[in-house]
Amino acid sequence: MSKPKGFEKPTGFRDYTPHVVSKLRKIERNVLECMERWGYRQIITPTIEYYDTVGVASSTSDRKLFKLLNSRGTTLVLRSDLTAPIARVVSSMLKDEALPLRLSYHANVFRSIEEEAGREAEFFQTGVELVGDDSPEADAEVVALAIASLQAAGVSSFKIAMGHMGFLNGLLEEVIPGQTAEQEQLKEGLLGRDYVGYRQSIEALNLEPKQKQQLEAILRLRGGKEICTHASELSSSAEAAQSIAHLCAVFEVLEAYGVSEHVLIDLTMIGDFSYYTGMTFEGYAAELGSPVCSGGRYDNLLQQFGRALPATGFALKTNRIIDGVHGVTIEETKPVRIEYSPDRRAEALTEAARLRSLGQNVVTSLLEKAESKHGTYETTADQVEQVIIYGSKKGGN
């Protein structure tokens, strides 16, 4: 294996130039301020966690984790999401705080599968967790906040697709009871949006016509509030009925928020079915075909850390917003440039300090640098707001 060149970096990782960083920071600042106005407090957790705790509890499959060993031979992981680390903190350091807990975050996460897919192995997420409330009001709150956060991030045109794991679980158990492997295969088809494969899996089950119609009808359950009625007529399962009632209640709260125009009910949208336990959702921007946010209810996670609490939340896929959505514009502040001769250095640097104290960006340079051995230093009008010169190249006034 050849030695990497000095300018190379690992596959799947990227450098962020100043302009991109400015955009990232603006999105981060705007979204976190939005979340704070909704009562969410920011939390920061370590980049590295124990594999046997956070790594195992994470929604990320084992093959997607970046693993490493510490000096004692203990397996560690680079965090692949923020939900599991926050669950660890909620179950320990925050166990005496009143519920519900509202927490927000912005951090980089790592997933090795992104590298294999030609995508980024390190990326940023900005999100929230609402812990200790299992009501439709709580689920509606995180969806409404996701909408407000997307708008704060500069995403002006988008749709939120909202589903419920319980409906699909109830329907599948009604139609093919006890056939766990077959149920998982059908879920995989829906999760991957492979509807051709989903139909082929149905055909392979040799079901009665009515049962086939029930499973195929899921693909048509996309739309507005009327989907609740259609779904209720499709299944007699108690779990499915309860799930649809919950989802409809969430939609009604979103109507009260005045944001239901951004939401559609999509019962083919199940999220990570090994992780989510109830309502799930994804947000799609008009400019992109892949989700810019995702979230849902995960009521089984915290019990893995010894504290059985319901929870719901979401994360913005900040990198996709940076790269694919053009709603955030950066107006770069041009600095004042102060050039000075050696005999007027103190005077020039004092003025630079004064201007900086007033909030002005200032760069300074010795006049002799204009003829440096590294080349000619030139300042154009579009690079600076103003040029102030103390002295001259010959040291004059």
pLDDT of residue 347: 95
- Residue 273 in contact with residue 191, Cβ under 8 Å? yes
Euclidean distance between CA atoms 128 and 117, whole angstroms? 27
Question: Which is more confident, 125 or 383?
Answer: 125
- Phi–psi pair at 392, nearest 5 degrees: -145, 175
User: Among candidates 265, 239, 240, which has minimal Cα distance to 252?
Assistant: 265
pLDDT band (50, 70, 90) for residue 396: very low
Least confident of 46-50, 184-188, 292-296, 325-329: 325-329
Rg over alpha carbons for the chain, rounded to the nearest Å, is: 27
**Is the pLDDT at 388 greater than 60, yes or no?**
yes
Q: Name, in order, each residue with C-beta under 8 angstroms of 340's C-beta and a sequence gap of 6 or more.
A: 347, 348, 349, 364, 365, 366, 367, 389, 390, 391
* Residue linked to tokens 């903190």: 89
300 and 270 in contact (C-beta within 8 Å)?
Answer: no
- Say how many C-beta atoms besides its own lie within 10 A of residue 10's C-beta: 9
Contact 67, 94 (CB under 8 A): no
DSSP string, 61-110: -GGG--EEE-TT--EEEE-S-SHHHHHHHHTTTTTTSPSSEEEEEEEEEE
Predicted local distance difference test score (pLDDT) of residue 273: 63
Nearest to 300 by CA among 279, 276, 282: 276
- The CA distance from 340 to 346, in Å, is 9
DSSP conformation letters of 276-336 = --SEEEEEEETT-SSEEEEEEE-TTSGGGGT----EEEEEEEHHHHHHH-------PPPPE
Question: Mean pLDDT over residues 204-231, rounded?
Answer: 90
Contact 126, 106 (CB under 8 A): yes
Strands 279-285 and 48-50 turn out to be unpaired
226-273 pLDDT, tens digit per residue, is 998 899 888 889 999 999 999 999 999 999 999 999 999 999 888 776
pLDDT at 4: 66
Separation between Cα atoms, residue 258 and residue 280, nearest integer Å: 20
pLDDT for 274: 75
Which is nearest to 126 in space by CA: 262, 272, 313? Answer: 313
* pTM (two decimals): 0.88
By residue count, the chain amounts to 397
Nearest CA to 22 among 156, 110, 154, 120?
154
* Nearest-angstrom CA–CA distance, 298 and 87: 11
Question: What is the band of 395 on the pLDDT scale with cuts at 50, 70, 90?
Answer: very low
C-alpha 122/C-alpha 318 separation (Å) is 11
pLDDT at 6: 66
Per-residue pLDDT band for 60 (boundaries 50, 70, 90) equals confident
Half-sphere exposure of 321 (CA within 13 A, CB side): 32
Whole-number average pLDDT of the chain: 89
Predicted pLDDT at 154: 92
Place of tokens 């020039």: 348
